[in-house]
Amino acid sequence: MFSRAVRISRAAPIRAAAQRVHAASIVSRRTVTTNAASAQVDKSSIPQSDEEPFSVRLSDESFETYELDPPPYTLEVTKKQLKQMYYDMVVVRQMEMAADRLYKEKKIRGFCHLSTGQEAVAVGIEHAIQKTDDVITSYRCHGFAYMRGGTVRSIIGELLGRREGIAYGKGGSMHMFTKGFYGGNGIVGAQVPVGAGLAFAQKYTGGKKATVILYGDGASNQGQVFEAFNMAKLWNLPALFGCENNKYGMGTSAARSSALTDYYKRGQYIPGLKVNGMDVLAVKAAVQYGKRWTEEDNGPLVLEYVTYRYGGHSMSDPGTTYRTREEIQRMRSTNDPIAGLKQHILDWGVASEDELKGLDKQARNHVNEEVAAAEAMPHPEPTPKILFEDIYVRGSEPQFIRGRTPDENFYFSN
Amino acid sequence: MKGSPMRALSRALVRGSTLTPSASAAFLVSSRQPYSTHPPNAKLNLPTDYSTTPLLFQTSQSALANPELSPEVRNGTTKRMNLFQAVNDALSIALAEDESVLIFGEDVAFGGVFRCTGKLAETYGGDRVFNTPLTEQGIMGFAIGAAAEGMRPVAEIQFADYVYPAFDQLVNEAAKFRYRDGACKRNAGGLTVRMPCGGVGHGALYHSQSPESLFTHIPGLRVIMPRSPLQAKGLLLSAIRSNDPCVFMEPKILYRAAVEQVPTAAYALPLSKAEVLKEGSDVTIVSYGQPLYKCEAALRQAEKDMGVSVELIDLRTVYPWDKEAVFKSVRKTGRCLVVHEAMINAGIGAEVAAAIQGDPQTFVRLEAPVARVAGFSIHTPLLYEALNAPDIARIYDNIRKVLEY
Ligand SMILES: Cc1ncc(C[n+]2csc(CCOP(=O)(O)OP(=O)(O)O)c2C)c(N)n1
Ligand SMILES: [Mg+2]
């Protein structure tokens, strides 16, 4: 046991270091812009047709790179794609808002993490990859599940614990799986090496497929993330690692958890690309570039999507104690991914205000209908078959289910 | 920076708990009522009333009557505390009495998800109570290294469900340290790992597990689970002072629900020693942690209905556990059931049952096979979590079964 005096003198450098970290947190670097409407277009180049591509020029501040030539700053898009991206982001947000409401009505229980504010990441990625590619992410997964092809009703049904939920209602918010989508993972960081395995299988079976692997700024400190980096580089896997840096892991800011907050440099021997994650166009451009990078057999990339979650960490966190209301307000009012794309669409004459209102309404109606359908879904039937499915080989299940009283116990023979 | 996202999370988590007795009835009776609440006509599976259970000391006098407390402590005062406050009190005492005690883990400097470490950083300084990154394997290895240098680290794993990345460190480093260090005589005995465990009603796959039996497979670790605030304080202080690495598992459903009078002084309760909570002559129930409350309710009803007398034993330390106390009881009663929330397969119940039948003097006294009442071997579903944990009806049914054998 130290004497007090000795301990204090030994502890002093630790404390000084802690103060340095604190100072660093104040100037925590997020140098790419988070402006969601920073792209430009030569309006005269915009075609009449919905399907004909034209070039968009992304802001110079859309990317930062590490050991990598930056992606092209021009992106080919069509009017149709822009409207689809807008519609997708609105659906994701409406769906998250519906989950928020259902949670507050106590219809959804357990853990529930919303991605409001981060829509451009899930939507931009999907618009850059193919259905044959794979995506795997953490528990903040509703938007990804939708973009990968899950229906709103199956996602909300899962949250409500219904049999027709996307995972039979067994897991709830953190557990969503669909074709080309491997969840929905509740253990922070666990999905990252699993993603490397997916990427290996894709390379092994051939066909120019890649895996998009997402994790948070907090998760990036888990050892298995680094283990996955090493394997992916060693075996040159088509793995697009991507840190969704929303500045906080629960209540802990990035600078308080991470010795290096440049998450795109964390792959060390893997090139990195930091992206404006509030701009769906920048995300699309970056991931398209990453996909091509893997197709050319260059191995993995480490992306960092600079983004922001508007709400708390989960439904039980108001999200206002470890960051200022001004910060949230500023991101919402000036960097919102949906408002940003909307501004582009209007400025560039891609669609009229009325047309966009129509899309908003269509998205809202769609989500409302789907939520109603989900609420009408039956609960799982209270049968041993459902309780024990995917756990026991048929015939080896437990012998009885109890009732309230011993007389109500239900014994069954298989 | 008061860290109240954690406070809110803790409240939300535990709020469910006081409302969640058993879902079994809902499960069978009405598929429209899927969450864990009891139906109005439930007979056995009523919610645990923590304000009247005899397992919690509502008066200072009854709390201080505990013969395991030293005379000085018994002459002292008590304070009403819930389980997280009792843990906090123990941690505060440990920090104050021993400069080598350190506390770290995810968000512990903000008080932690369940408020167990509230105000400790402010009181004892950020160099002794500090946050770690999200890095369970790192937390555990770091704690073991510090312990090997003679520190007394109390590491927190935010939920027991997150301990698996740290499992290797516990099994291969902490538990084996003394054995392999040989003549150098260093060890990781100063290490204590705290983690909340067990169900709260809607934790689903990753916020409801009770992995204690995994640690009981490993010689070199002590595995402890308290049933109440008074027990938590004394057992945690023993764990921190102990020269063996201790895994201290806190049933999170009890953090706010279980409230009792707790001695204000520092005191230690013995490790690896069971406690007979109620004497009886016909059946022995062996349990630990939260299910003890259900055992108590079930045995009260069974005694009334069946005219028998039931003995209730709290193992408290599940490894190495107090075999003598259990054998002694079973030699008297001849009948035994073991109750726990963790899965039945390869659980504590299996070990206790095997030990009973393996002890010649106890085996010959058995009147019925040892029964196990435990969680089914399933992953915890989002719905019907309480169906999985043993409830009063199931315990009651098994009391009858061992009696009627
Ligand atoms: C192994 C593990 N440790 C701790 C947790 C608890 N936990 C869940 S989310 C989280 C914060 C993660 O932050 P980040 O990676 O930045 O993702 P974000 O929530 O911001 O999307 C923590 C500590 C967990 N689920 N798994
Ligand atoms: Mg984060």
What is the distance between the alpha carbons of residues B290 and B277, in angstroms, rounded to a whole number? 14
Question: What tens digit of pLDDT does each residue of B150-207 get?
Answer: 999 999 999 999 999 999 999 999 999 999 998 888 999 999 999 999 998 888 889 9
Does A233 contact ligand 1 (Cβ within 6 A)? no
Q: Averaged in consecutive runs of 10 residues, what is the pLDDT profile of chain B (405 residues)? A: 42 38 33 50 85 97 97 98 98 98 96 96 97 97 97 98 97 95 92 96 89 96 98 98 98 98 98 98 98 98 97 98 98 98 96 98 98 91 82 94 95
**CB-based contact B102:B150 (threshold 8 Å):** no
Integer angstrom CA distances of residue A239 from A62, A233, A281: 22, 9, 21
**CB-based contact A302:A287 (threshold 8 Å):** no
Q: Determine how many CB atoms are found less than 10 A away from the CB of residue B121.
A: 20
Does A319 contact ligand 1 (Cβ within 6 A)? no
Question: What tens digit of pLDDT does each residue of A300-358 get?
Answer: 999 999 999 999 999 989 999 899 999 999 999 999 999 999 999 999 999 999 999 99
Residues of B in contact with A383 (CB under 8 A): none
Question: What tens digit of pLDDT does each residue of A6-55 get?
Answer: 333 334 445 444 444 444 444 455 589 999 999 999 999 999 999 999 99
A110/B207 CB distance under 8 A? yes
Residues of B in contact with A7 (CB under 8 A): 99
Q: What is the DSSP letter of A218?
A: T
B6/A250 CB distance under 8 A? yes
Q: What is the mean pLDDT of residues A84-112?
A: 96
pLDDT of residue A393: 78
Q: Is A259 helix (H, G, I), strand (E, B) or coil?
A: coil
pLDDT of residue B22: 33
Does A62 contact ligand 1 (Cβ within 6 A)? no
A1/B206 CB distance under 8 A? no
Q: HSE (CB half, 13 Å, CA atoms) of B387?
A: 28
- Residue owning tokens 């299988």: A201
pLDDT of residue B25: 31
pLDDT of residue A28: 52
What is the distance between the alpha carbons of residues B13 and B196, in angstroms, rounded to a whole number? 12
Shortest distance between the Cα of A413 and any Cα of chain B, in A, equals: 17
Computed on alpha carbons and rounded to an integer, the radius of gyration of chain B in Å comes to 21
pLDDT of residue A384: 72
**CB-based contact B393:A405 (threshold 8 Å):** yes
Please give the angle made by the CA atoms of B94, B96 and B99, to the nearest 5 degrees.
Answer: 85
Q: What is the DSSP letter of A379?
A: P
Query: What single letter denotes the amino acid at residue B291?
Result: P
Shortest distance between the Cα of A144 and any Cα of chain B, in A, equals: 20
Window 161-190 of B, Cβ < 8 Å to A: 161-162, 164-165
Q: Which backbone phi and psi does B373 adopt, to 5 degrees?
A: -120, 110
Residue of B nearest to A402 (CA): B394
Question: What tens digit of pLDDT does each residue of A354-412 get?
Answer: 999 999 999 999 999 999 999 999 998 877 778 788 877 777 776 766 666 666 666 65
Query: Is the model's pLDDT at A202 over the cut of 50?
Result: yes
* Residues within 5 A (CB) of ion ligand 2: A 216-217, 246, 249
Question: What tens digit of pLDDT does each residue of A146-181 get?
Answer: 999 999 999 999 999 999 999 998 888 988 999 999
B8/A388 CB distance under 8 A? no
Residue of B nearest to A396 (CA): B377
User: How far does CA A15 lie from the centroid of its chain?
Assistant: 35
Integer angstrom CA distances of residue A44 from A55, A91, B260: 11, 31, 76
pLDDT of residue B64: 98
pLDDT of residue A407: 65
State yes or no: is B156 an active-site residue: no
Atom of ligand 1 nearest to the CA of A215: 15
pLDDT of residue B201: 83
User: How far does CA B52 lie from the centroid of its chain?
Assistant: 20
**CB-based contact B252:B14 (threshold 8 Å):** yes
Q: Which backbone phi and psi does B314 adopt, to 5 degrees?
A: -100, 120
A175/B205 CB distance under 8 A? yes
Residues of A in contact with B200 (CB under 8 A): none
Q: Is A44 helix (H, G, I), strand (E, B) or coil?
A: helix
DSSP β-bridge partners for residue A268: none
Which strands, in side-by-side order, build the sheet including B101-105? B129-131, B101-105, B152-156, B192-197, B246-251, B222-224, B317-319
Q: Is A161 helix (H, G, I), strand (E, B) or coil?
A: coil
SS3 for A94-105 is HHHHHHHHHHHC
Local confidence band at A224 (pLDDT 50, 70, 90 cut-offs): very high
From B132, B134, B136, B169, the mutation candidate for ligand 1 (largest count of ligand atoms within 8 A of CB) is B134
Sign of CA dihedral B281, B284, B289, B294: negative
Q: Which backbone phi and psi does B195 adopt, to 5 degrees?
A: -155, 135
Q: Is A318 helix (H, G, I), strand (E, B) or coil?
A: coil
Residues of B in contact with A253 (CB under 8 A): none
**CB-based contact B389:B375 (threshold 8 Å):** yes
